[in-house]
């Protein structure tokens, strides 16, 4: 058997021939007979053979005329096959296409035997030509059906994995949108009944226009959704005609609406029912297999959306809880301009233990504090609240920075009595005297603060530190003393911002310092927002972030 492009030639030596070797490809086919004289090229055939090749009954009878009818994509392979046939006697089979007019093609199959002449060399080929177009179309339809089935099954696996990984409603609808075309659909909306109203809670489409059309439900969409909710069963409308037949009052809306719809009921774990409305730009048959796959996909979607709703509610509650432990309103201290932000992680269900604070000290100075409790949990967040309160109390008692951290460290060590639930925390504490710019800095395992002065680029302060809080009860923390000039800005942040760039703290630090350029004269509120926004847009925030900027005002009161 020789496979030459779309032309298949099968050569069998006469002594190897099998009487059953040339069975017809189909039980009923249109067939004609021919005889080709190899030496002269003359072809003798019946009218059917001529008609199959699109030639008149009185048409030419040479091989070149038949070759002229062969589709140009198959011509070179047919010529090669004829060359092979002319070389040796035996049984042969050739498949090729001819142009049938109106841009269509006819598939033909020629089967025959090459007979020898008196000299024993190949002299003529006699055989039959059959129209196999219908056979090929059936094979192509089956191949296409199997391909579409495999594609849908692969998409179901991918959808299952994507929905399992998705956390938010936005993530889930992005996963659903990626598979719309697999089903031939172009838009999808999840709709819940609220009293007498239907509300679109999530939607996606191939384009913005399609999504906008789903947000405002027309009479047709409402009817299909209400029917699916009432019946608690899928409502499948395969065409505009089917829509008019099933719902005559919707006839005016059948054009130019999408050509097919599917409204599928969704039930959550508490028995609450909603509906998923899917639109298709072309008519659909909704075969049993396709329907079962569509229903299964929507079931997965319903489960994921319920999980996402629970996540978003819990995440919002947890985030509000953490924000309630942080200072409320702007931080105001005489002689210092302060801007601070807390940003929850953009992924994950648990809140973290990041915090910041600005404390007015008994001597007229201000303490700038930032910290990060290990882990992401309600326990971490509650511990953060206790540490922030402790630092605030020790600072108000007038203790110097080292003593504040040492007392807080002993407190956390005592709280860590259970090794299985023990947590440590990092902290940076700075005491600034606004009147003369004196700055005392202590670090407990926390990233170094940055300093930005009017005439120098941003840089990290070289500040020695000690172990994180909660590890060694007797840990001592060195204090670094320096003086900053008016207009200088101090920047403190947590590792969530510094590690946002591929978890690489060096790259993150460089990005952080670049974002601080111009801070001595800029609006600090804008600077902190830009720092968070640029990092979130480029890399996302896999950890929560606390950020505090403080600028020492000039003697004339200008910031």
Average pLDDT over residues 39-55: 91
Taking the C-alpha atoms of residue 307 and residue 177, their distance in angstroms, rounded to an integer, is 18
90 Cβ contact partners less than 8 Å away, ≥ 6 residues apart:
11, 12, 13, 14, 17, 113, 114
pLDDT at residue 558 in the model = 59
In a shared domain, residues 167 and 201: yes
Tell me whether residue 417 is in a domain.
Answer: yes
pLDDT tier at 503, thresholds 50, 70, 90: low
**Quick one: which of 474, 487, 492, 476 has its CA closest to 430?**
492
Tell me whether residue 138 is in a domain.
Answer: no
pLDDT tier at 441, thresholds 50, 70, 90: very high
Neighbours of 240 (CB within 10 A): 20
Q: Where is the domain boundary, 106, 131, 156?
A: 131
In a shared domain, residues 149 and 110: no
Q: What is the CATH number of the domain that holds 532?
A: 3.60.40.10
Average pLDDT over residues 495-500: 81
Average predicted confidence (pLDDT) for the chain: 84
Taking the C-alpha atoms of residue 182 and residue 176, their distance in angstroms, rounded to an integer, is 10
Structural domain containing residue 117:
2-131
Query: Is residue 35 scored above 90 in pLDDT?
Result: yes
In a shared domain, residues 433 and 506: yes
Q: Where is the domain boundary, 111, 131, 151?
A: 131
Taking the C-alpha atoms of residue 42 and residue 63, their distance in angstroms, rounded to an integer, is 6
Cα torsion through 440, 446, 452, 458, rounded to 10: 140
Q: What is the CATH number of the domain that holds 109?
A: 3.30.450.20
Q: What is the pLDDT of residues 101-131, one digit of tens each?
A: 777 889 999 999 999 999 999 999 999 999 9
Q: Where is the domain boundary, 316, 349, 366?
A: 316
In a shared domain, residues 194 and 309: yes
Residue matched to tokens 């062969």: 70
Question: What's the farthest any 2 CA atoms get from each other in the chain?
Answer: 125
Tell me whether residue 282 is in a domain.
Answer: yes
In a shared domain, residues 457 and 517: yes
Tell me whether residue 272 is in a domain.
Answer: yes
Q: What is the pLDDT of residues 355-401, one digit of tens each?
A: 999 999 999 999 999 999 988 777 787 888 899 999 999 999 999 99
Tell me whether residue 558 is in a domain.
Answer: no
Tell me whether residue 136 is in a domain.
Answer: no
pLDDT at residue 151 in the model = 78
Strand spans (E) along 379-508: 425-433, 438-444, 450-452, 459-460, 480-483, 489-493
In a shared domain, residues 211 and 108: no
Residue matched to tokens 């994921």: 304
Identify the residue with better confidence: 69 or 259.
69
Query: Is residue 196 scored above 60 in pLDDT?
Result: yes
**What is the DSSP pairing of strand 366-376 with strand 450-452?**
unpaired
Q: What is the CATH number of the domain that holds 275?
A: 3.30.450.40
pLDDT tier at 209, thresholds 50, 70, 90: low
**Quick one: which of 431, 435, 434, 436 has its CA closest to 449?**
431
Instruction: Report in angstroms the alpha-carbon separations of 259 from 209, 217, 292.
Output: 17, 17, 20
Taking the C-alpha atoms of residue 46 and residue 407, their distance in angstroms, rounded to an integer, is 109
Q: What is the pLDDT of residues 335-344, one digit of tens each?
A: 999 999 988 7
Tell me if 515 sits within 8 A of 527, measured CB to CB. Answer: yes
In a shared domain, residues 254 and 289: yes
In a shared domain, residues 126 and 229: no
pLDDT tier at 268, thresholds 50, 70, 90: confident
In a shared domain, residues 155 and 110: no
Tell me if 96 sits within 8 A of 78, measured CB to CB. Answer: yes
0.85 surpassed by pTM: no
**Count of domains observed in the chain:** 3
In a shared domain, residues 440 and 341: yes
pLDDT tier at 321, thresholds 50, 70, 90: low
Tell me whether residue 208 is in a domain.
Answer: yes
Rg (C-alpha) for the chain, rounded Å, is: 39
Tell me whether residue 538 is in a domain.
Answer: yes
pLDDT tier at 543, thresholds 50, 70, 90: confident
In a shared domain, residues 345 and 432: yes
Element (H, E) at 367: strand 366-376
Neighbours of 213 (CB within 10 A): 19
Q: Which two tokens stand for residue 131?
A: 């129209």
In a shared domain, residues 389 and 501: yes
């Amino acid at each position: 058997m020789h496979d030459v492009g779309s032309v298949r030639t099968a050569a069998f030596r006469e002594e190897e021939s099998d009487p059953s070797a040339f069975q017809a490809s189909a039980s009923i086919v249109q067939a004609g007979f021919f005889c080709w004289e190899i030496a002269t090229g003359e072809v003798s055939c019946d009218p059917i053979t001529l008609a199959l090749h699109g030639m008149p009954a009185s048409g030419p009878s040479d091989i070149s005329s038949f070759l002229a009818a062969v589709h140009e994509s198959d011509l070179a392979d047919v010529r090669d096959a004829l060359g092979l046939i002319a070389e040796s006697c035996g049984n042969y089979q050739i498949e090729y296409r001819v142009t049938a007019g109106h841009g269509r093609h006819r598939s033909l199959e020629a089967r025959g035997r090459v007979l020898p002449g008196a000299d024993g060399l190949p002299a003529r080929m006699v055989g039959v030509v059959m129209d196999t177009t219908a056979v090929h179309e059936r094979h192509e339809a089956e191949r296409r059906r199997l391909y579409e089935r495999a594609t849908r099954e692969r998409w179901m696996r991918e959808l299952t994995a994507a929905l399992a990984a998705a956390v938010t409603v936005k993530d889930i609808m992005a996963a659903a949108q990626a598979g719309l075309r697999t089903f031939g659909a172009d838009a999808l909306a999840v709709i819940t009944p609220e009293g007498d109203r239907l509300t679109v809670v999530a939607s996606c489409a191939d384009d913005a226009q399609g999504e906008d059309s789903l947000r405002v439900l027309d009479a047709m969409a409402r009817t299909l959704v209400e029917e699916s909710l009432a019946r608690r069963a899928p409502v499948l409308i395969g065409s505009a005609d089917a829509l008019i037949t099933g719902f005559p009052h919707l006839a005016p809306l059948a054009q130019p609406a999408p050509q097919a719809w599917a409204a599928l009921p969704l039930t959550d774990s508490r028995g609450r029912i909603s509906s998923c409305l899917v639109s298709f730009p072309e008519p659909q048959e909704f075969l049993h297999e396709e329907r079962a796959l569509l229903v299964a996909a929507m079931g997965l979607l319903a489960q994921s959306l319920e999980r996402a709703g629970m996540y978003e509610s819990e995440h919002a509650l947890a985030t509000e809880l953490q924000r309630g432990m942080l200072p409320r309103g702007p931080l105001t201290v005489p002689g210092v301009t302060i801007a601070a932000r807390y940003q929850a992680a953009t992924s994950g269900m648990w809140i973290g233990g990041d915090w910041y604070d600005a404390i007015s000290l008994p001597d007229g100075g201000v303490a700038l504090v930032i910290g990060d409790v290990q882990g992401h949990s309600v326990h971490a967040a509650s511990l953060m609240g206790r540490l922030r309160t402790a630092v605030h109390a020790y600072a108000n008692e007038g203790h110097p920075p080292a003593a504040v951290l040492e007392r807080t460290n002993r407190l956390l060590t005592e709280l860590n009595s259970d090794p299985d639930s023990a947590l440590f925390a990092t902290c940076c504490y700075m005491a600034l005297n606004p009147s003369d710019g004196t700055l005392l800095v202590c670090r407990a395992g926390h990233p170094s603060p940055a300093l930005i002065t009017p005439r120098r680029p941003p840089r990290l302060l070289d500040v020695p530190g000690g172990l994180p809080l909660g590890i060694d009860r007797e840990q001592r923390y060195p204090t670094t003393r320096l003086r900053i000039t008016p207009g200088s800005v101090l920047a403190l942040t947590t590792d969530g911002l510094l590690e946002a760039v591929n978890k690489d703290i060096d790259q993150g630090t460089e990005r952080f310092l670049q974002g601080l350029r111009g801070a001595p004269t800029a609006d600090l509120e804008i600077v902190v927002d830009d720092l968070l926004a640029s990092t979130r847009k480029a890399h996302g925030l896999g950890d929560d972030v606390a950020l505090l900027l403080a600028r020492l005002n000039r003697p004339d009161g200008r910031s």
